Amino acid sequence: MSFVEYSEIIQEGDVVIIFQGHESMMPIKVQSGAQTQTRYGAIRHSSDLIGQRFGSKVTCSKGGWVYVLHPTPELWTVNLPHRTQILYTTDIANITLMLELKPGSVVCESGTGSGSLSHSILRTIAPTGHLHTVEFHAQRAEKAMQEFKEHKVSHLVTVRNQDVCKDGFGITGIADAVFLDIPSPWEAITHAKSAIKRKGGRVCSFSPCIEQVQRTCEALLDHGFEEICTLEVLLRVHDVRTVTLPLPDFGPEEDSTDIPNTGNTSVICRTATPPREMAGHTGYLTFATKPRD
Amino acid sequence: PRRSHRISFGDYVVLKRGDVFKSVQVENKKKVIFEKQWFFLDNAVGQLFGTRFEIEAGGSLKLKAAKHSGDSLDSKEAGQDNRHILDDGKSQKLTRDDIETLKEQGLKGQEIVQQLIDNSTTFKDKTEFAQEKYIKKKKKKYESDITILKPSTRLLAMMYHGREPGKICHLRYDTLAQILTLGNIHAGSKILVFETCAGLVLGSVMERMGGFGSVIQMYPGGGPTRAGMESFGFPSHFHETLHEFPLCKVNALLAGTLDLSEKDADGNRRSESSQETSGVSEERSSEPQSMEVSVDPQEEMRRVERERLREQKVRFLPLLLCAYIESWLGAQEKKVKMEEKRKKLASAAALLEGRNADGLVIASRFHPCPVLMGLLKFIAPSRPFVVYCQYREPLIECYTKLREQGGAISLRLTDSWLRHYQVLPNRTHPVLLMSGGGGYLLSGTTVAADAAKTRNQHKSEEPVAKRLKLDEISSA
């Protein structure tokens, strides 16, 4: 198992995702002799997980069952332990496309936070790219390093515990793309520019507040960035359901041979409805291109 | 592999002017039409990607001089508001003809814009914001710079959505972004793609695979569409990871009855006549057969003589000889092509047979339900699949079918809402026009198919999720 490569059989040391039902999943680390409690009973790692195929059904001690899934960055995003507010898949997907990330890309990111975006970037740039991620909080930086190691991706990433606004990313002139999710991104634009390759590259800044966006766009313009563009994306979920709609009774029609509706008929519709509430805002995404030097 | 930062003949590039893009191939002395201008790309060869060019009279490209920082267009005077500005259409003193004359005199775009400002009676009364907006608008119209870029999913997806959305089933680029991420498309995996989006979706999947792993394009009808994929300009080794397999042979493959023997490699044996290479051979259809039998040059000459006498037209002699040679070559070529095709079919079948693909992407004008149900069989358990449809109802059907059949979890029917912003000091607001919709996605994860035995045993013990409204755990 690794977050950047699929495998078929569960092995000791793997991180797997236990699926207990919709919106009820949890990550566990597979260890010989260990046990994990689920709502349907205990799972014995040695007999129930090790050697089993990813995607299989696992019966728990109380008799109920769960599925064991191969980890992906998307599953990780919804199951990881939060140390900070994280980025979700909808924003991550657009960031990936608009920054033109692909295998071999060299990317700079700050702040690392809880590693949600980091894992997605690593998956996209593997096996030949590299991620330079900067986190100014010492414990968070340490935790991120640990997780990357456990997830077998540490060869693709360098974590630096420093302040990107003061000290930059620790490298210059080698990045294809830079991503900023920090309180004052305009203070890091100079460093972002110097981190990017001479031939040019892409930059993205994520900010919840419009004032931050305004200051960042101004800084980008002042530094000679082009194609400055700000957008937001939201995901709308459609809940598929069957609804039964009763038909009205208008009474018997004149000159009609039809049997009048006695009021007990209804129509079944297969449709989808929006949820009661939805995420209305995550943050604004600002993209720009650093032109060739 | 040689890294190409410089534009070469044969390269696929993306032309950009403002927010408008066009994908073209760089060809010697070929006229390109883009944004109401025509020009030749020859002067761009040898330049770096990302370079900006001016279009000179005559259509040749010229490197744009170093950028002027900001506008050198002065705005000395400005008004406070528009209460006294009359919109009578008479404030611009230059006529259309005047502007044409300026253009013919070789005035650059920026100079024309300055002329327009100088000849506008109301410009000095406009507010600073209105002046900026005016200048921006005129620049967009009269400055004809183009930039030549290296293709990417971002540029091509925006181009197709802006220019020819019908060709890509109205797939908007943020929806495509979701497809690639939800599908966990990455280097080293084996992905099945079925699309009728001109090859854009295929190309974007290939870009994310980086030349590692394999992509199997399933195709309906005659052959796979790949024009959009070619526009990405992938290096040749990427094409080695690309396979294709016809939908019409899927059932045979699943049943184990697919015939891959050398004899009849192509089940659809269409009678391609041997006149593919030479139009002359149509009247001489008997010739190829007799040609194959007799190799003796003297016999050949006699036959030719006989023909000559028959036709009584001397000038046909060289044409006849050519016809013989060409149709013989054509037959050999056809043999080689058929063997190639058979080999390709066999290699794609070998990849599919294991039923262990790592992902499935569907984005087509076909009804997604049968496509999905048919192709899911090739996907390993615990792998993502994503289905795009321009409309919602067909995906509701897919959802229902999957719930009944089992074998998939975390089913989600979604669409993406996208909004652009104008960010300027004291003028920040969402852009006035926005996209109405970008299509719908059904995504999910495969799981091990339920064996009948297991299902019966655990029927009474199946867990009941507290919230039943979304994914009920499927029961037999």
Query: What confidence tens digit (pLDDT) does each residue in B28-62 have?
Result: 999 999 998 899 999 999 999 988 998 887 788 88
Q: What is the mean pLDDT of residues A37-56?
A: 95
Burial category of B300 from C-beta neighbours within 10 Å (exposed 0-12, middle 13-18, buried 19 and up): middle
Give the pair of three-digit tokens for residue B182: 């939800």
pLDDT tens-digit readout, B138-161: 888 888 889 999 999 999 999 999
pLDDT tens-digit readout, B189-211: 999 999 999 999 999 999 999 99
Distance from CA of B117 to the nearest CA of A (A): 24
Coil, helix or strand at residue B411: strand
Would you call the peptide bond into B279 cis, given omega within 30 degrees of 0 as the criterion?
A: no
pLDDT at A168: 97
pLDDT at B186: 98
Please check whether residue A125 is in contact with residue A116, taking contact to mean a CB–CB distance below 8 angstroms. no
pLDDT at B290 over 60: no
pLDDT at B455: 42
Please check whether residue A107 is in contact with residue A176, taking contact to mean a CB–CB distance below 8 angstroms. yes
Please check whether residue A71 is in contact with residue A149, taking contact to mean a CB–CB distance below 8 angstroms. no
Report the mean per-residue pLDDT for chain B: 84
Q: Which of B52-61, B67-76, B202-211, B359-368 has the lowest mean pLDDT?
A: B67-76
Distance from CA of A31 to the nearest CA of B (A): 20
Element (H, E) at B158: helix B153-163
Compute the distance between CA of residue B42 and CA of residue B53 in angstroms, rounded to an integer: 12
Beta-carbon separation of A286 and B423 below 8 A:
yes
Coil, helix or strand at residue A269: strand
The DSSP code for B282 is: G
A61 annotated among ligand-binding-site residues? no
- Which are the contacts of A155, defined by CB distance < 8 A and separation ≥ 6? none
Q: What is the mean pLDDT of residues B340-369?
A: 96
Compute the distance between CA of residue B230 and CA of residue B25 in angstroms, rounded to an integer: 10
Please check whether residue B401 is in contact with residue B444, taking contact to mean a CB–CB distance below 8 angstroms. no
B17 touching A, CB under 8 A? Answer: no
pLDDT at A292: 87
Give the pair of three-digit tokens for residue A249: 């009774």
A117 annotated among ligand-binding-site residues? yes
Of A279, A198, A266, the C-alpha closest to A237 is A279
The DSSP code for B168 is: G
pLDDT at A260: 62
Compute the distance between CA of residue A174 and CA of residue A121 in angstroms, rounded to an integer: 16
Higher per-residue pLDDT: A263 or A26: A26
Please check whether residue B40 is in contact with residue B9, taking contact to mean a CB–CB distance below 8 angstroms. no
Partner residue facing A271 (CB), from B396, B420, B463: B396
Q: What is the mean pLDDT of residues A120-136?
A: 98
pLDDT at A218 over 90: yes
Partner residue facing B177 (CB), from A97, A210, A270: A97
Residue with tokens 């070559």: B329
**ipTM of the prediction greater than 0.90, yes or no:** yes
B463 pLDDT tier (thresholds 50, 70, 90): very low
pLDDT at B119 over 50: yes
Higher per-residue pLDDT: B430 or B304: B430
Residue with tokens 């920040």: B428
Residue B242 — φ and ψ, nearest 5°?
Answer: -95, 125
Partner residue facing A237 (CB), from B48, B412, B458: B412
The residue type found at A216 is T
pLDDT at A4: 93
Give the pair of three-digit tokens for residue B205: 């999947």
Residue A58 — φ and ψ, nearest 5°?
Answer: -120, 125
pLDDT at B270 over 70: no
Q: How far apart are the first and last CA of chain A?
A: 41
Give the pair of three-digit tokens for residue B151: 């293709």
Q: Which of A160-169, B179-188, B237-246, B288-297 has the lowest mean pLDDT?
A: B288-297
Residue with tokens 């900026």: B132
Beta-carbon separation of B458 and A97 below 8 A:
no
Higher per-residue pLDDT: B436 or B171: B171
pLDDT at A150 over 70: yes
Of A253, A186, A258, the C-alpha closest to A222 is A186
The DSSP code for B379 is: B
Distance from CA of A64 to the nearest CA of B (A): 5
